[in-house]
Structure 1
């Protein structure tokens, strides 16, 4: 059973949580369901006008409350003078309760679904399936969703009610056809699936609106195990003290750097140093040590390792690395530019077994665990061995022995499965980067930083994670804070260099600026806080 997420995560309810919220508001607080529907419909109508101020409106309704919201929109827009056409994917007798009341207030049943109803529309309202729907849409609902998708391809904007039809509101999965919305208006709180790909890619602009449900519901219902990352996670990180030393600020030791890939560990070191590590050591094959020393930040140390016949790190290097770790406590980061092969497989497994401190496995380091994620369980069973792995979708597929498409289609289930099987904190990278703890908690990055889609930014992220673990930050917090700092650094770098011109080194440098700006803002807020009477 998942634990409650920390305070720095904004809770994201699942579909069941939203149903419980509505039931509490209606049954306990006494807010009539039709009143909630009227408020929701009015706010949805406002969004329609914002997207398309003029022209005919086509509203496609299904059964249930989503369909009822659609009828409210239709009535209000018609009263405002808009030409409105309503079509329904269900027989009229399927509408019950508040949805039937909304239909009656509109003035009668809708026309049966017809793709022709969309032909002259200036905007389409998707009110077919709600947050409770799961699996692939079927029958007329599927036909209507496909029709809306075709209209969107022709340039007609679409406003989705609560969730784009065809998107699972909890997982973000899209089992069949789904509506590609221009904007999605969701009520009271956004569900987790609106932030997770592939569903996230169908949402468009997300608007979360208040429909009058008291906020205290958060204190009365179970706290969701999934949440959206916020800047507050940075407040959980330690700060350097005036009596500190480089040793207290933490040491990160990075193993990697095969010939032709010496830039990767250097980027990891830059990320670690800019995230606050006291110092970093680059442990690389002896043949490239001088190259790495010339490219790395001048503050870093190097450690020459035995090389295999291919010039990359040999398996016997594990003894050298472990001896250094015994004499100089450090977080070990394995993988950036490491290269693959049997020698690296044996190296990684020896390091996993022999290192008693924190570990980050990234990039080629993950290749040694392909098809055997449980190999990490022996070390992660110990609380003194915090472990974070940072796969992208392809690395995750190889790790779990599944198809790449399966990872993309089931990102939430996949990252939770990986965390459970490895016992590690798992960072599944993407625009919606997901951070999963073995106990089921998941943090979701809000994303929106296309400048990060360039070579080497993953190496930077591994360094940031390593730096925070070296400061003894709890691993779920460390991974989450690293993702947040990395995201904001990507945005900051793109502001300076443009999205297309941003490179990984820019992101590493921006990590420090993002942290500085956050700490300054926090200090200003503290200074402005009202003084307390000490008496």
Structure 2
């Protein structure tokens, strides 16, 4: 997978390994800390020149060391500062101890800090490595600062936010600005951490990219770099079948709209043909609403088997508004040699027997994409969902490996995960995408990419990205019909 340096996402554990590798390669670790602390001080002066006082809260580890460097830099700049320490600074070790010594002053106890109007707080308590709830002493101060609504600059990550999962560990700052180093952490992008970081600045403190690449496991921000090699411009000589034939299964006569949204999205996303497969009871309803999308009667498994003899039907979407769980199970298993997007009722249909679905798609290249929201995810993967030690990224990867499918774990922080361990966090979705029919539209976009021959992970990643772009273009107050109409051409992003 080609990697864009700006798209790197590095877990706290990977960052610790990168720091060790940098030191072993001969890079002065204290110089890295100095660069980090000076970057924080520069951000403070740049964004808050009107501050009456900069208050630096220093923790018992290297994040606190960054804070002492920032404090020394601000003191040299001639601005008023106050430094408050969590724990005894005499117990600091390594670079943090050196940073405290070079600052050369006495820090007051964190419990002594009383927020004042005009204070700008620099949060250097814990950073991204925190894995347990913040201690009570810190929680009290965090709440007091939030009560006074003081601006907070977070060093690496707002204290109290888990850098791996984005979850709040008891209490956390809501930063107005966050300065992190070398690359973003999952907690910067996963909810609710993303909403607590404010403006995010990534500062290169001098670790070579080759060291980052060795330790990076393949997690990145979703974007065009993931599918650039698969977003081909249209061949002027191509006929409609060469552009892919997508089939979408309709629900019954009172539940046809969801499938039509998927079908229209598939057509807008670039499939050469889209056919809506409908039982006889829903034929007239669908026929009254369709023009460019074709309609085919598929009454039962026998009719589907006959249709599958046409190998030009290259991808399928099953689940939006489908309703009939038994038929959904049967159809999904019959399609096991084709590319399939399984959504909504198609996922729920396997609640009692997910292994039969996973086994059916286990061989060969990945050809199944599932698009669950939280509730649907729990129906197929209850044990993974219930494990509190797993982040959303961890859960998506574990589910992808078990199911032999690409998982699009939907939400404001949608995660796309592949059975091979690759994963991407999507960030371009506006909040108004949370509307009826939005997921149906996403399924159709991904289905179009599969029909055009894109690999499953790239098809899903590109689909989620285009879905977010369409939502931003359609604007607040959109309906799902608006969303399909706002889909932009994929080659424009490659």
- Cα deviation for residue 98 of structure 1 reads 1.8
Decide whether the 8 Å contact of 1:283 with 1:321 is kept in 2: no
Counterpart Cα distance in 2 of 1:462 and 1:6:
25
Query: 1:176 aligned to 2:159?
Result: no
- Answer whether contact 1:11 1:224 (CA < 8 A) is retained: no
The one of 444, 447, 468 aligned to 2:425: 444
RMSD: 2.5
Q: Are 2:252 and 2:322, in contact at CA under 8 Å, matched by a contact in 1?
A: yes
Bigger mean CA deviation after superposition, 284-293 or 439-448: 284-293
Corresponding residue number in structure 1 for 2:218:
225
1:136-180 CA distances to partner (integer Å, 9 max, x unpaired)? Answer: 33x3xx431453244225422211101222222233333432222
Deviations 1:448-482 (A, max 9, x none): 52231222111111011111111121111111111
**What is aligned with 1:36?**
32
Return closer, same or farther for 1:323/1:287 CA change in 2, 3 Å cut-off.
Answer: same
- Which residues in structure 2 correspond to 1:358-507 (within 5 Å)? 358-383=339-364, 386-401=367-382, 410-494=391-475, 499=476, 501-507=477-483
Preserved CA contact (<8 Å) 1:57 1:85? yes
Aligned to 2:149: 155
Q: What corresponds to 1:322 in structure 2?
A: 305
Q: Is the 8 A contact 2:426 2:465 kept in 1?
A: yes
Which residue does the alignment assign to 1:530? Answer: none
Give 3-state SS (helix, strand or coil) of 2:380's partner: helix
What per-residue deviation string (whole Å, max 9, x for no partner) do you get for residues 37-79 of structure 1? 2221121112223443222222211112110111122222233
Give the Å deviation of 1:406: 6.8
Is 2:466 aligned against 1:518?
A: no
Residue 82 of structure 1 and its aligned partner are, at CA, apart by: 2.7
1:225-264 alignment, distance < 5 Å: 225-235=218-228, 236-264=230-258
Matches of 2:144 and 2:305, distance apart in 1: 59
**Contact 2:162 / 2:168 at 8 angstroms: preserved in 1?**
yes
Q: Which residue of 2 aligns with 1:293?
A: 287
Does residue 303 of the first structure (1) align with residue 278 of the second (2)? no
Structure 1 gaps, min length 5: 307-316, 520-535
- Secondary structure of 2:486's match? helix
Greater displacement, 67-76 / 406-415: 406-415
Q: SS of the counterpart of 1:326?
A: coil
What is the deviation of 1:403? 10
1:349 partnered with 2:329? yes
- In 2, distance between residues paired with 1:107 and 1:349? 69
Structure-2 residue corresponding to 1:74: 71
Among 88, 92, 96, the alignment partner of 1:95 is: 92
1:207 is aligned to 2:188: no
- Gaps spanning 5+ residues in structure 2: where? none
Q: How far, CA to CA, are the matches of 1:11 and 1:398 in structure 2?
A: 31
**CA–CA separation in structure 2 for the residues paired with 1:447 and 1:397:** 25
Q: Is the 8 A contact 1:352 1:379 kept in 2?
A: no
Under a length normalisation based on structure 2, what TM-score does the superposition of the two structures give? 0.91
1:238-282 CA-to-partner distances (Å, cap 9, x unmatched) read 332123111111111111333443221111112111111011111
Shift of 1:333: 0.6
Equivalent residue number for residue 319 of structure 2: 335
Q: Tell me, what secondary structure is at the counterpart of 2:313?
A: coil
Distance 1:202 1:336 in 2: 34
Q: Please give the residue correspondences for 1:58-137 in structure 2 after superposition, counting only pairs within 5 Å.
A: 58-114=55-111, 116-120=113-117, 122-137=119-134
CA distance in 2, matches of 1:275, 1:171: 32
**Aligned mates of 1:329, 1:450 — CA distance in 2:** 34
Q: Indicate if the aligned counterparts of 1:58 and 1:117 stay in contact, CA closer than 8 A.
A: no
- Structure 1 residues 116, 269: CA separation in 2 closer, same or farther (over 3 Å shift)? same
The DSSP-based 3-state class of the residue aligned with 1:176 is: coil
TM-aligned CA distance change 1:414 to 1:384, over 3 Å: closer
Query: 5-14 or 18-27, which moves further after superposition?
Result: 5-14
Distance in 1 of aligned mates of 2:46 and 2:278: 57
CA distance in 2, matches of 1:354, 1:129: 52
